[in-house]
Amino acid sequence: MKILLIQPPVRDFYQTSIRTQPIGLAYLAASLQAHGHEVEILDCQAGKKKTVSIPPELSYLKDFYPFDDRSPFKLYTGFYHFGIGWDEIKKRVEESKADVFGISSSFTPYHGEAFKVAQLVKEWDSGKIVVMGGSHVSCDPEGVLKSPFVDYVILGEGEYRLSFLIDCLKKGTKDEIELMDGVGFKKNGKTFINHLRSFIPDLDSLPPPARDLLDPDRYRINKKRSTMIITSRGCPHGCAYCSAHLVMGSSFRVRSPEDIVREMVECYKKYRVETFDIEDDNFTFDQERAKRLMRLIIETFGESRLELSAMNGISFASLDGELIPLMKRAGFHTLNLSYVSTALSTKERMKRPQPVIEFGSILKKAEEAGLNVVAYAILGIPGQTLEEMIETLIYLMGKRVLIGPSIYYPTPGTVLFKRCEKEGLLPSGISQWRSSAFPIETEEFNRLDMATLLRLARVINFIKGKMDERELEEGTTWGELFKTLKGRGVEEKRPDWKDLIFVLMREKWFLSLRKKSEKGFSMVKEKTSRKVIDYFLESAWERPILMSRND
């Protein structure tokens, strides 16, 4: 049987293009090939973005995202369809001559796009088989299988399950499908879910991803060919907001450093890949294994010969003073660390792992090693206060880090999702369950507060960048910056970033820059939460701002 594996396009205000490689589909393809099946991968996100209308359920965001803003603190500039269009997808589906279509649905707010692809398949030929998998499917298999466009669902790891399912379909032994855990199907008009009971114990036994089915020039970081690599699966932490354990289990399973490096050598020799993004959910959970891997990479490729990253995030609780410099020597330039919040109560409620070494000590080790740090703070968690979120931004403002503000979004099946559901906090449409839509409002905060916090983080990062460039002196406080800018006055005809920041401090308003004519721009007031700005400036006025880079 021929199988076409599909990564659907997405529609949103933004896309992290350097993290779109469908490595999960490449793993599935390799497993299917090993079972003698013909496979192709259609990455629908490979096309250019096109501006599309904001869907009605997201229309309230127009107040927060002025698309014609030209300021350095703008949030988003439009709503886009990222990838090839629906007509082209339909054409590629028909030309594939596939018998089975495996569609990935990895992110709940984009599930509509996955359904649309399934609909295109069924409208073309209702006899074709549609199988859907991915993170969203693992979190809500019953809901997905209710669709008339989906025949089967795969939960958790799909390498063995999808191959088994297709073998059964090929042989005509559909009854055997009921024996496999992690598979959902329809029978006599009813849906059945065989819930997950098992995970792959030996990850070294899996064939490497079928990267030959992907265009190597499509996936680049800093203009260099790149690829994602997975060195472990499973996360034992069970954080309240995260669905990783629902998809890959709570048992931490690893690949051997030798097997990982063999795959990296193949990528280097066969595809000229020199940039690797480790996409694990908890890469450094086993510190000693991570250290062995870093040493083996250094031994095989030399120091800093490769460019390594872990953009999915690393828990700073699993780092130490020996591992950090090894990561630098192996090729890391930046550590993406999950910080969450300054409030211990929030970390405890979120079931975050307790660190052995304090965050400040990890930052010091990173600075000594010459590693930059992006620290991710989660904003908008039910139970948080505005004061807590602002204090988190102020704390990170005073550290040598770039702030990664992450607006909380609800994920089905998680502890925090169930709380949101119970307290009536969920928006009515799942397309609203995305960070860019500011999905959660409580008595403590609203969407305007969240939009203001997001802009505020951009301003802080911008100032840090000016310190990196030596245009501003590191350690300058807001009070000192205000005195400096006050002396220059506001330039009405040709306003720049200094004018925008000065007015923000003086008037407590964010301003956008709108094109007035070919000769210049005008400053326009944007919706701003005054209570956020008031509290921030009052608390941060005399606090020093530090640059973001250590290299």
Q: 81-102: per-residue pLDDT in tens?
A: 999 999 999 999 999 999 999 9
**Count of alpha carbons within 13 angstroms of residue 160, beta-carbon side:** 14
% of the chain at pLDDT higher than 70: 96
* Six token digits for residue 477: 């406080």
Q: What is the mean pLDDT of residues 190-209?
A: 94
**Cβ atoms within 10 A of the Cβ of 118, count?**
25
Q: What is the mean pLDDT of residues 459-485?
A: 96
% of the chain at pLDDT higher than 90: 82
At 488 the pLDDT is 72
**Spatial CA neighbour of 235 closest among 135, 159, 140:** 135
Give CA–CA dist 332/503, Å, rounded.
Answer: 39
* Strand partners for 221: 224
At 241 the pLDDT is 84
Residue 175, pLDDT above cutoff 80: yes
Where do we find the tokens 């089967």? 152
At 245 the pLDDT is 84
Q: What is the mean pLDDT of residues 252-276?
A: 96
At 17 the pLDDT is 84
125 phi, psi to nearest 5 deg:
-155, 105
H-type alpha helices, 110-200: 111-124, 135-139, 141-145, 159-171
Segment (H or E) for 257: helix 257-271
At 81 the pLDDT is 97
| Fold of domain 219-445 | TIM Barrel (3.20.20)
At 502 the pLDDT is 93
* Strand partners for 156: none
DSSP 404-452: EEEE----TTSHHHHHHHHTT-S-SSGGG-SGGG-----SS--HHHHHH
Confidence grade of residue 493 (pLDDT, cut at 50, 70, 90): low
Give CA–CA dist 390/387, Å, rounded.
Answer: 5
At 349 the pLDDT is 67
At 342 the pLDDT is 74
Q: What is the mean pLDDT of residues 376-385?
A: 93
At 141 the pLDDT is 94
Burial 310-339 (b: 16+ CB within 10 A, else e): bbbbbbbbbbeeebbbbbbebbbbbbbbbb
303 to each of 298, 307, 373, how far by Cα in Å? Answer: 5, 10, 20
Residue 366, pLDDT above cutoff 80: yes
Give CA–CA dist 280/234, Å, rounded.
Answer: 9
Confidence grade of residue 492 (pLDDT, cut at 50, 70, 90): low
Residue 356, pLDDT above cutoff 60: no
Task: Give per-residue pLDDT as tens, 388-405.
Answer: 999 999 999 999 999 999
Q: What is the mean pLDDT of residues 296-315?
A: 94
At 495 the pLDDT is 82
Q: Considering the chain, what is the average pLDDT of its residues?
A: 93
Confidence grade of residue 65 (pLDDT, cut at 50, 70, 90): very high
Residue 20, pLDDT above cutoff 70: yes
At 348 the pLDDT is 67
Q: What is the mean pLDDT of residues 354-371?
A: 85
Report whether 366 contacts 324 (CB < 8 A). Answer: yes
The amino acid sitting at 28 is L
Query: DSSP label at 32?
Result: H
Where do we find the tokens 């990296």? 264
- Which one has a higher pLDDT value, 347 or 443? 443
What residues contact residue 470 under an 8 Å CB cut-off, 6+ apart? none
Report whether 175 contacts 215 (CB < 8 A). Answer: no
Question: Residues of CATH 3.20.20.70 domain(s) within the chain?
Answer: 219-445
**Count of alpha carbons within 13 angstroms of residue 30, beta-carbon side:** 15
278 to each of 96, 201, 260, 264, 308, how far by Cα in Å? Answer: 31, 20, 11, 11, 8
Where do we find the tokens 């009052």? 538
Give CA–CA dist 132/227, Å, rounded.
Answer: 24
Q: What is the mean pLDDT of residues 449-471?
A: 97
Q: Which of 281-290, 299-308, 488-497 has the lowest mean pLDDT?
A: 488-497
Q: What is the mean pLDDT of residues 112-138?
A: 97
At 323 the pLDDT is 96
Q: Which of 101-110, 138-147, 169-178 has the lowest mean pLDDT?
A: 169-178
Report whether 224 contacts 261 (CB < 8 A). Answer: no
CATH number at 2-48+83-194: 3.40.50.360
* Strand partners for 40: 4
Confidence grade of residue 279 (pLDDT, cut at 50, 70, 90): very high
Q: Which of 31-45, 57-71, 146-160, 355-369 has the lowest mean pLDDT?
A: 355-369
Confidence grade of residue 250 (pLDDT, cut at 50, 70, 90): confident
* Six token digits for residue 472: 């501003």
Residue 343, pLDDT above cutoff 90: no
3-state DSSP call for residue 157?
Answer: coil
